[in-house]
């Protein structure tokens, strides 16, 4: 049996897994990202964990390593000035892991890795044209066109979260105003809830708890329990998201858009209005032709599976 190694590098923890050809994690390890203030020491520790897993599973053949990391550049193999990692500058992650392990290594950002996971093992399995949109603290995306990930000229294409949907809208962490992620992320949902709770005249659990205690989870639970304010908040959020998705469809015409991340736990409270608004805003020739799907990757291992899918995809296409 053959497998690839998937590595999901987060600001706090790094998850490592051996993933078989069916997308199953057959062995697992992890290390603290923050325990290594020097990049070279981190790569030493990461490479050690990789080889421990490889050596403990010699009955299987390791094809290579895929890594999903913040600001990871598929073309250059560098992690470039990731704000939520300890190490600054352009870090040669691909080269250093290959040097230490002898294994073909591929890197990309975490949203692109998740999209490839959906392509090989999840909701977009078998699709040649789709987009995967992550709805978490921010909004990320991975876009596949004609069976190829869209990386753009410098490796950083596909920033759906930073299309401007509201002129002079909310201030975004990128420094501009009105980006999609300031409305359609969990952070955006909470900000909307706090603003709307201030002016809401009816009864709502969101008013009772105090706006500083409002969380995305609370808004989702309240909506499922019939709270009218929570439902209005999801409708507003879904309208912004639907506008962004309709714009994405006009450019890429995907077969489907897969939603991934904490927001999808809201289920129909998000999906039903988001699909409605997406089709309202959509170019008429595309209306009703694009599926909106929830991710099918298992949440606990989604990052690992996505990163491993990157390696599997690149190796299957003969790339190094």
pLDDT digit string (tens) for 101-138?
999 999 999 899 999 999 999 999 999 999 999 998 89
Residues 259, 305: one domain? no
pLDDT in tens, 35-79: 999 999 999 999 999 999 999 998 889 999 999 998 999 999 999
Residue 257 has pLDDT above 90, yes or no: yes
Residue 262 has pLDDT above 90, yes or no: no
Residue pair 182/169 in contact by the 8 Å Cβ criterion: yes
Residues 161, 47: one domain? no
Identify the pLDDT of residue 277.
98
3-state helix/strand/coil string of the chain: CEEEEEEEECCCEEEEEEEECCCCEEEEEEEEHHHCCCHHHHHHHHHHHHHHHHHHCCCCEEEEEEEECCCECCCCCCEECCCCCCCCCEECHHHHHHHHHCCCEEEECHHHHHHHHHHHHCCCCCCCCEEEEEECCCEEEEEEECCEECCCCCCCCCCHHHCECCCCCCECCCCCECECHHHHCHHHHHHHHHHHHHHCCCCCHHHHCCHHHCCHHHHHHHHHCCCHHHHHHHHHHHHHHHHHHHHHHHHHCCCEEEEECHHHHHCHHHHHHHHHHHHHHCCHHHCCCCEEEECCCCHHHHHHHHHHHHHHHHHHCCCC
Residue 239 has pLDDT above 90, yes or no: yes
Q: Which residue has the higher pLDDT, 199 or 150?
A: 150
Residues 107, 183: one domain? no
Residues 214, 237: one domain? yes
What is the length of the chain? 320
Return phi, psi of residue 4, to 5°: -120, 160
The gap from C-alpha 9 to its chain's centroid, in whole angstroms, comes to 12
Residues 160, 230: one domain? yes
Residues 38, 136: one domain? no
pLDDT in tens, 15-36: 999 999 999 999 999 999 999 9
Residues 184, 88: one domain? no
Residues 94, 168: one domain? no
Q: Give the structural domain span for 255.
A: 126-294
* Whole-prediction pTM: 0.91
CATH number at residue 83: 3.30.420.40
Residues 97, 132: one domain? no
Angstrom distance (rounded) from CA 40 to CA 97: 10
pLDDT in tens, 192-219: 999 999 889 999 999 999 888 999 999 9
Residues 171, 265: one domain? yes
pLDDT in tens, 269-315: 999 999 999 999 999 999 999 999 999 988 778 899 999 999 999 99
Residues 140, 93: one domain? no
Structural domain count, the chain: 2
Identify the pLDDT of residue 320.
73
Residues 107, 130: one domain? no
Angstrom distance (rounded) from CA 206 to CA 233: 11
């Amino acid at each position: 049996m053959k497998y690839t190694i998937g590595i999901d590098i987060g600001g706090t923890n790094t998850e490592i897994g051996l993933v078989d050809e069916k997308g199953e994690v057959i062995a697992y390890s992890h290390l603290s990202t923050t325990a290594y203030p020097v990049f070279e020491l981190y790569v030493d520790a990461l490479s050690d964990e990789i080889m421990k897993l490889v050596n403990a599973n010699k009955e299987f053949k390791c094809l290579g390593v895929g890594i999903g990391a913040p600001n990871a550049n598929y073309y250059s193999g560098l992690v470039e000035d990731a704000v939520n990692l300890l190490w600054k500058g352009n870090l040669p992650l691909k080269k250093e892991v290959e040097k230490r392990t002898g294994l073909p290594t591929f890197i990309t950002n975490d949203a692109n890795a998740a999209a490839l996971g959906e392509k090989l093992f999840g909701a977009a399995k078998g699709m040649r044209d789709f987009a995967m949109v992550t709805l978490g603290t921010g909004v990320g995306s991975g876009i596949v066109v004609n069976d190829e990930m869209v990386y753009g000229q410098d490796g950083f294409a596909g920033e759906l979260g930073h299309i401007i949907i509201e002129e002079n809208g909310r201030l975004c962490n990128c420094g501009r105003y009105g980006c999609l992620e300031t409305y359609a992320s969990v952070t955006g949902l909470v900000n909307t809830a706090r603003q709307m709770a201030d002016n809401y005249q009816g009864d709502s659990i969101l008013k009772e708890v105090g706006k500083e205690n409002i969380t995305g989870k609370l808004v989702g639970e309240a909506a499922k329990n019939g709270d009218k304010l929570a439902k209005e908040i999801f409708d507003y959020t879904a309208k912004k998201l639907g506008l962004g998705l309709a714009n994405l469809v006009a450019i890429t015409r995907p077969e489907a858009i897969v939603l991934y991340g904490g927001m999808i736990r809201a289920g129909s409270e998000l999906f039903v209005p988001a699909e409605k608004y997406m089709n309202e805003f959509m170019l008429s020739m595309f209306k009703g032709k694009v599926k909106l799907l929830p991710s099918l990757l298992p949440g606990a291992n989604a990052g690992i599976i996505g990163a491993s899918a990157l390696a599997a995809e690149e190796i299957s296409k003969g790339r190094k």
